[in-house]
Structure 1
Amino acid sequence: MVRASRGAATPGMWRREVGTVVRRAEPLPEPAAGAILAGFRIVAVPTEWSPHSHDLHELVWARGGTLTSRVGDRVLTVVEGHGLWMPAGMVHEGRATAGAEFFHAFFAPGRTPLAFTEPLAIAMTPLLESLLTHLSRADLDAGARARAESVVFDVIRPSERQFALQLPGDPRIDAIAETLLGDPSDGRSLEDWAARLEVSDRTITRAFRQSTGLSFAQWRQMLRVHRALMLLGEGFEVTTVSEVLGYAQPSSFIVAFRRVMGITPGAFFGAAAGSSEDVRNPVSHDQNP
C-alpha cells in the first residue's frame, strides 16, 4: 500500500497521509556565533508545517524520505542527495515523510555571502553535509566555526536538476490540477476534461500553455514524474510506482521519467545515493522546514 495515496487533499500539495501531524512554525534563535545554525531530527510520523516564513535563510535535506514545500504557485520536492534552499522572508509550507532523517541549517542573511534569492534545489555533496554536521556542534570555538563556514560558502551550489512543479493558478483549469494532485493516475483525456468543464479542448490547452508553459499532456507527465520522485525516494519499487501513477507497464513509466529527467529512475537514485555518504552523530534540534 502506498501511504501517500491515502488521506485528505490539501490545496496545491500532495494528498495528505493518514496520521499526519500538522505543526505550526516556531521562532528561530539567531546563531549565537557565526552565520550558520545547524541541526538534525528524525521525523517519526508524516509531518506538515503550516504556512510560515523565517527571518533566516533555510537549507533543509533528508535521508530515507522526501521533503516537499509549497511556495506560492510552485510545489518543490527534494529527495536524498539534494536539499532545498528557502530565502529569508519567503512564505512556504512544508512536509516531511515518516521516518525521514531531517537535517536543517539556518543562515543569518547579514552574514551570508550567497545570492540565492529564490527557492532552489541544492546539491548535498558529502563535503557540504560534513561541514554542516560539523557546524551543529556546540563546542566549536569562533575560529573553527569561521573556517568551516567559509568553506560552506565556497562549496554550496544549486543542483543541476531543479524539482519545481508550476501550478496553473488559472480558474479555467484549477479543477484539473487539483484533481491530478490528489490522484496522479487519473487518466482522463483532454477531451474528457473539456466535456466535464464545458469548455473547448483548445481553451484548456491555451490555459495550460499560458500558465505553465506546457501542454496538458506535458504538465500531467511532469506532475507524475514529480510525484514519482517522492515515492521512489521513500523506497517504493518502480513497478509499484508505475501502477500508482496510472502507467500500463513499468517500461512506459521509465520512458516518461527519462523524458522529463534525462535519466532512468534507477540511474537517478543510484547517483543520488552515491553523492550522499553517511554523516552520523549530528546534534538534534527541533526546528521548522
Structure 2
Amino acid sequence: MTGACGPLAHGEDVAAHSHDFGQLRYAASGALVTTTRAGTWVAPANRITWVPPRHVHSSRSHGETEVRLLAVPATEAGRLPAEPSVFVASALLREAFLAMTGEPDPARAGLLLEVVLSELVRAPQEPLRLPEPADPRLKAVTDLLDADPANPATLAQLGHRTGASERTLSRLFGSELAMSFPQWRTLLRVQRAVLELGDGTSVTHTATRLGWANPGSFIDAFTALVGRTPGRYRAEAAG
C-alpha cells in the first residue's frame, strides 16, 4: 500500500496486522507509535518508521496524525534493517518520500524509491526501542507504568499490586527484556518525552509530567539515550 492514511484522531488504534512487503511510515503531522513483538517505537514528525515484511505490527496515534505509507517490495527490503526501526528524515528523504506517495508514473516512482532507500541506508536511527514483555507477571507491571509513566512506585510496590515478588520481577526484566527495571522505566519515560517535546511542551514541564525529580536529571537521561538535549530535540521538532 502506498498513499495516505488518516487523519487519525489522538489515541486512535490501528489493529495488529502484517504485509508480505516492507512498509515505511511517516507522520506528516502528529506522531505514530508502532508496536511489534520485538518492542515499541515512537516516531514524531521528521522521523520515518520501517516495518520489515511479515512483521506483525499495530499502531497508535499521538495528536491528530496524518500518516503517509510507502510499500517497499520484499526484493528491496534486505537493504534495510531486519528489525523495525525509526530513522531521522533528512529534507531530501522527506521530500522524495512524499513525492513518491502521490506518484502515478511507475518509472518515476522507481527512481524516487531508489532515492528513499539510498537516503535511509545513510540516515541515523533513533535508539529508542522499548522491549515488550511476554510473561504475564511482567506485563502486568509494565502495563501499570505504560498507563502512568510518572508512577514513582518501586518494583516491590508494583509487584505487591500485581501479585509477583520483587525478586521474580527483577529476574524477568533481566532475562526477558535484557535490562533492569530502572532502565526500562527510564526508556519508557524518554519515549514519552519525545512525544511531549514534539508537541512543543517545555523541557521543565515534560520533566515534571513524566516523573523526574528535577529538569537536570531529565536532561541527563534524555541526552544519554537520544544523543542530544531535550531542548535541541524540541527545537528540531518545531523546525
- Bin for the TM-score computed over the shorter chain: 0.7 to 0.9
Which has a greater percent of helix? 2
Work out whether residues 78 and 163 of structure 1, in 8 Å CA contact, stay in contact via their aligned partners in 2.
no
The whole-number CA distance in structure 2 between the counterparts of 1:226 and 1:173 is 19
Tell me the CA shift for residue 211 of structure 1.
1.3
- Equivalent residue in structure 1 for 2:220, among 249, 255, 278: 255
AA in 1 matched with 2:223: R
Displacement of 1:94 = 0.8
Normalised to the residue count of structure 1, the TM-score between the two structures is 0.72
| Aligned match for 1:149, one of 113, 116, 121 | 113
| Partner residue in 1 for 2:207 | 242
Tell me, in whole angstroms, the C-alpha distance in 1 between the residues paired with 2:29 and 2:209. 20
Could you tell me how far apart the structure 2 residues matched to 1:156 and 1:167 are? 25
- Distance in 1 (CA, whole Å) between partners of 2:159 and 2:104 is 62
Change beyond 3 A, Cα 1:136–1:223: closer
Listed as ranges, the gaps of 5+ residues in structure 1 are 1-27, 29-36, 275-289
Q: Does 1:265 align with 2:230?
A: yes
Between 1 and 2, higher relative CO (CA 8 Å, sep ≥ 6) is seen in 1
CA shift for structure 1 position 69 = 1.1
Check 1:154–1:244 CA distance in 2 against 1; reply closer, same or farther (3 A cut): same
Among the aligned pairs, what percent are the same residue?
29
**Structure showing greater Rg:** 1
Deviations 1:250-277 (A, max 9, x none): 3332232223323211122334555xxx
Q: Secondary structure at the match of 1:166?
A: coil
Distance in 1 of aligned mates of 2:237 and 2:63: 20
Pair 147,260 (structure 1): closer, same or farther in 2 beyond 3 Å: closer
CA–CA distance in structure 1, aligned partners of residues 217 and 41 of structure 2? 24
Residue in 2 aligned with 1:189? 154
RMSD across aligned C-alpha pairs, in angstroms? 2.5
Kindly indicate whether residue 125 of structure 2 is the aligned counterpart of residue 160 of structure 1. yes
Question: Secondary structure at 1:177's aligned position in 2?
Answer: helix
The answer to which structure has the higher strand fraction is: 2
- Cα pair distance change 1:114/1:73, threshold 3 Å: closer
The separation in 1 between residues aligned to 2:163 and 2:13, in whole angstroms, is 36
Q: Secondary structure at the match of 1:151?
A: helix
Aligned partners of 2:42 and 2:237: how far apart in 1? 14
TM-score by length of 2: 0.85
What does the per-residue CA deviation read over 1:226-270, in whole Å, with 9 as the maximum and x for residues that have no partner? 111122222322233222212233333223222332321112233
- CA distance in structure 1 between the partners assigned to 2:63 and 2:236 by the alignment: 23
SS at match of 2:60: strand
The CA deviation string for residues 100-137 of structure 1, in whole angstroms up to 9 with x for no partner, is 33222112224666243221112311111221222234
Q: How many residues align?
A: 237
Structure 2 gaps of 5+ residues are none
Give the one of 124, 138, 141 matched to 1:176.
141
Letter in 2 for 1:98: G
The answer as to whether partners of 1:83 and 1:122 remain within 8 angstroms in 2 is yes
Amino acid at match of 2:193: A
